[in-house]
Amino acid sequence: MTAQQNILVLNLGSSSLKFAVIQPQSGHVALSGLAERLGNDARFEYKFDDQKHDIELANGAVHKDAISTLISTLEQNNLLTTLAGVGHRVVHGGETFSESMLITQENIEKLDQLNHLAPLHNPVNMEGIHSISELLPQIHQVAVFDTAFHQTMEDKAYLYALPYELYEQHAIRRYGFHGTSYRYVSQKAAQQLGISQSDSQFLIAHLGNGCSACAVKNGESVDTSMGLTPLEGLPMGTRSGDLDPGLSEYLNQQLDMTQDDIMTLYNKQSGLLGVSGISNDMRTIQQHAEKGDRRANLAIELFAYKIARYLGALATNLERIDALVFTGGIGENDALTRSLILEQMTIFGFKLDGERNQQNGDESGRITSDDSTLAMVVATNEEMMIAQDTQSIIAQLQDEGA
Ligand code: ADP
């Protein structure tokens, strides 16, 4: 093993920076952490050697300040010299990027042209790339896209039934997200079942704060629930998922809501939070449901029902279901939601094994009985996938002698 064995994985949100130093083969995390509330009352915390540390950031510190603090932290903990490269999670790769790519000047220019597709996300991701270029000019950087895995969808799946010119002239189509998670989980599920990925058919439900579902056939995404933006599809923590497009006009005309009000309603005030009126967090909602709160119960039931309905639709892309795979914070940990979804899908032959489900899966992840269509839990690991892509792109570069 060379000295440079680790990859720094960066995930920038609108006011946050998540980071991890990962050994790509083993998945070992040497250091990880989070800077939050950037631009405001920022805080920076990290874990190293099983110890948690807090660092004070100057008032108003922004992403670049947090990255600079991160680099000093890596230096102090003797990790900076172990880095082989930096992998960035980039939300939108449009139709330009169907796989992870090395950051070069030419690719940066192509990426800049995609900002209009994800104006809240991509420019922030670019800030991360530019900050690293300035602070660590020698290091190789790789971008890993949330959308890339879904570029295998056929046009009948990715097009909206809108005038075709909107696609041709403005790139308006469905892209899908959570692709890095689906790629990891579909590989891992095939491994755990001892089947070949090139002959596998999975339905995958990624249920976290953001939720989506995907049909993955022979290792490729055939269709997914998110669209041009992550708002389409399943209900989520605070997002509504699918709605009648006529609702926006109704809210505007009848309730006098502006475009901004309506988008805030759909993105920030709906989903589990909107229906329960309590929280966007499934654990909190379940605590209230157990005490008999009607809307908390309704939020859980509606969430499971609509997910089952979508999974049923996605199943029409498959010839068989090798497994329905649950992942994400809710998918991996919440026995109740999984059981409600499977009860709604008995037509597909699912029979829950209560004990396996309570344990979040047996040793191979199964939560169903032996005579059932298989459903299982697989823990996602997007950071590891980003680290592996980064490492393999850098290795290729070194092979080419660049
Ligand atoms: P993100 O999409 O932000 O990465 P996560 O994948 O961490 O989010 O998922 C967060 C969701 O997972 C929250 O709704 C949280 O309540 C839920 N969750 C985490 N652990 C459990 C648990 N043990 N039981 C039920 N829900 C859980």
Q: Is 170 in the pocket of ligand 1 (CB under 6 A)?
A: no
From 182, 273, 326, 334, the mutation candidate for ligand 1 (largest count of ligand atoms within 8 A of CB) is 334
The residue among 275, 180, 284, 294 whose CA lies nearest residue 235 is 275
Whole-number Å distance, alpha carbon 108 to ligand 1 midpoint, is: 34
The pLDDT, as a whole number, for residue 41 is 87
Cα–Cα distance between 122 and 101 in angstroms, integer?
15
**pLDDT reported for residue 350:** 98
Q: φ, ψ for residue 182 (rounded to 5)?
A: -65, -35
- The model carries a pTM of 0.95
Residues 237 and 365 grouped into a single domain? yes
Distance CA(54)–CA(304), nearest Å, equals 38
User: How far from 245 is each of 166, 173, 249, 309, 314, CA to CA, in Å?
Assistant: 17, 15, 8, 19, 21
208 lines ligand 1 (CB under 6 A): yes
The answer as to whether 62 is a domain residue is: yes
Residue 139 shares a structural domain with residue 220: no
Burial of 278 (0-12, 13-18, 19+ CB in 10 A): middle
What pLDDT does 401 receive? 76
Number of Cα atoms under 13 Å in the Cβ half of residue 65: 19
d(Cα 5, Cα 2) in Å, to the nearest integer?
A: 6
**Do 305 and 339 touch, CB atoms closer than 8 A?**
no
Specify if 392 maps to a domain: no
Residue 281 Cβ inside 6 Å of ligand 1? The answer reads: yes
- Cβ–ligand 1 distance for 358 under 6 Å, the answer no
Report the number of distinct structural domains present in the chain: 2
The rounded Å distance from CA 360 to ligand 1 centre is 13
Question: Dihedrals φ, ψ of 164, to 5°?
Answer: -60, -30
pLDDT at 386: 98
Which pairing describes strands 375-377 and 323-327: parallel, antiparallel, or unpaired? parallel
What pLDDT was estimated at residue 3?
A: 61
Can you tell me which atom of ligand 1 is nearest the CA of 336? Answer: 25
The pair of structure tokens assigned to 401 is 């002698």
For ligand 1, atom 7: residue with the closest CA:
329
Task: Report the CATH number at residue 284.
Answer: 3.30.420.40
Tokens standing for residue 189? 């599920």
Cβ atoms 46, 124 nearer than 8 A: no
Cα–Cα–Cα angle for 171, 172, 173, rounded to 5 degrees:
105
Tell me, yes or no, whether 116 and 209 share the same domain: no
Beta bridge partners of 204: 214, 325
Could you identify the residue written with the tokens 């790519």?
A: 101
Residues 346 and 262: their CA atoms lie apart, in Å, by: 36
Residue pair 393/100 in contact by the 8 Å Cβ criterion: yes
Residue numbers of the domain that contains 327: 193-382
Same domain, 70 and 218: no
Q: Is residue 304 part of a domain?
A: yes
Q: What is the pLDDT of residue 297?
A: 98
**What are the residue numbers of the active site?**
146
Residue 402: predicted pLDDT: 59
Give the Å distance between the CA of 211 and the centre of ligand 1. Answer: 10
pLDDT of residue 1: 41
User: For position 291, what pLDDT does the model report?
Assistant: 98
Which helix H or strand E contains 35, and what residues bound it?
A: strand 29-36
Q: What is the pLDDT along the chain (402 residues), one digit of tens a residue?
A: 456 799 999 999 999 999 999 999 999 999 999 999 998 889 999 999 999 999 999 988 999 999 999 999 999 999 999 999 999 999 999 999 999 999 999 999 999 999 999 998 999 999 999 999 999 999 999 999 999 999 999 999 999 999 999 999 999 999 999 999 999 999 999 999 999 999 999 999 999 999 999 999 999 999 999 999 999 999 999 999 999 999 999 999 999 999 999 999 999 999 999 999 999 999 999 999 999 999 999 999 999 999 999 999 999 999 999 999 999 999 999 999 999 999 999 999 999 999 999 999 999 999 999 999 999 999 999 999 999 999 999 999 988 875
Q: Which of 129, 145, 161 is the last residue of a domain?
A: 145
In ligand 1, which atom is closest to the CA atom of 286? 25
- The residue with tokens 């050994």 is 23
